[in-house]
Amino acid sequence: MDERLKSVKRVLVRCPNWVGDIVMATPLFRCIRDHFQDARIYAGIRRYARGVIEDSPWFDQIVPCDDRTLPGFVRTVRETRALKPDLAILLPNSTRCFLTARLGGIKRIYGYKRNLQRFFMTGGPEPVRDYNGFKPVPMVDYYLEIGRDLGFHVPPNPRPRLFISSRLRAEGENILKRYGISEKDTLVGLNPGAGFGSSKCWPPEYFARLAELIETRLHCRLILFVGPGEERIADDIVARSRSKIINTARNILDLSQLKPLIKRCNLLVTNDTGPRHYAVAFDVPVVVLMGPTNPAYTSANLERSIVFREDVDCSPCHRKVCPTDHRCMTRILPEKVFEGVEKLLANSV
């Protein structure tokens, strides 16, 4: 470790903003805890996402960072000053994130040297570049590079991890019991939404057809996971399908409650969004439906994953809404996805 870091007593770790990125950053969180064993470590995180890292052993305190508005920015700066961190480790690349740390009185700030703050960071790695600009790399490795630059020991084959308290485990068991799911049931989760935008979403009629195939041929129970604002997607799938699907749209699960339910699943079918990474963290087999995003960012820890992606000329575009015919998703057919489901379930028995 850098000799200058040995006297550190208070560390602010600014977590990523997207759920999947937070999960993929957990190997770095572990490294930070291992190397600042006597320090008090604060997790700065968007308020909606705190459930992702609750119950973990890495942080002494979770601090909401809602800095997208001017009042929120001012509040975040004020709360950061009150914590008096000796240094900050920033995972988002935004200038706003850097400014809340600097104006919050933190003199030593580490993170990727990108955007305007690259000239003012205390230290951190340079992003890898290729002829197209920044080279896409697995986000697990991207975040761990910050730790390597700081001199942390990074264990081989790092994997994302999430934690569930006994209280949350009991809450999850009660939810499953209310839905009539027993321990002997083979449970397949379906995650049809995406906070990023509709471009990531597989069509509801495809999910409906896949549900029928899974129920009739594999005799599995099916449960739909949806987030706030995605109720219509869930209702559409249920209305189109002849299978019996447990619809959680009338009792939306928060990001902490989602953890024990995904852990209970024998398999998850999901768009390329946050719950995908929950499954990886809990070693649950997962079938991923990927369209507009670059697979290089998530090309780690795929041992129990099957990723369906069509190689179309307009992908990856990273647009939130498809401007054309959404061919990157509509060409992934339910019958083909069912083959992946069947294969993963057979291998997990």
pLDDT digits (tens, 9 = 90+) for 184-196: 999 999 999 888 8
Mean pLDDT of 283-312: 95
Specify the pLDDT at position 129: 85
Q: Rounded to an integer, what distance in angstroms lies between the CA atom of residue 349 and that of residue 171?
A: 26
pLDDT above 60: residue 1: no
| CATH code, residues 3-149 | 3.40.50.2000
- Summarize the confidence of residues 154-167 as an average pLDDT: 93
| 3-state class percentages of the chain: helix first, strand second, coil last, to nearest 5 | 40, 15, 40
Q: Would you state the pLDDT for residue 4?
A: 64
Q: Give residue 246's pLDDT.
A: 95
Using 50, 70 and 90 to split pLDDT, how confident is the model at 130?
confident
CA-to-CA separations, 162 to 8, 59, 255, 279, in angstroms, rounded: 26, 13, 12, 10
Task: Quickly list DSSP for 246-275.
Answer: EEGGGS---TTTHHHHHHH-SEEEEESSHH
State pTM to two decimals: 0.94
Q: How confident is the model at residue 3 (pLDDT cuts 50, 70, 90)?
A: low
What superfamily would CATH give domain 170-348?
Glycogen Phosphorylase B; (3.40.50.2000)
pLDDT band at 96 (very low <50, low <70, confident <90, very high): very high
Look at residue 86 and give its three-state secondary structure. Answer: coil
- Reported as a single tens digit per residue, the pLDDT across 225-268 is 998 888 899 999 999 999 999 999 888 899 999 999 999 999 99
Domain positions in the chain: 3-149, 170-348
Within this chain, domains 3-149 and 170-348 share the same CATH topology: yes
What confidence tens digit (pLDDT) does each residue in 18-58 have?
A: 999 999 999 999 999 999 999 999 999 999 999 999 999 99
Lowest mean pLDDT among 61-65, 87-91, 196-200, 213-217: 196-200
Evaluate if residue 5 carries a pLDDT over 80: no
Q: According to the model, what pLDDT value does residue 2 have?
A: 59
**Does the pLDDT of residue 314 top 60, yes or no?**
yes
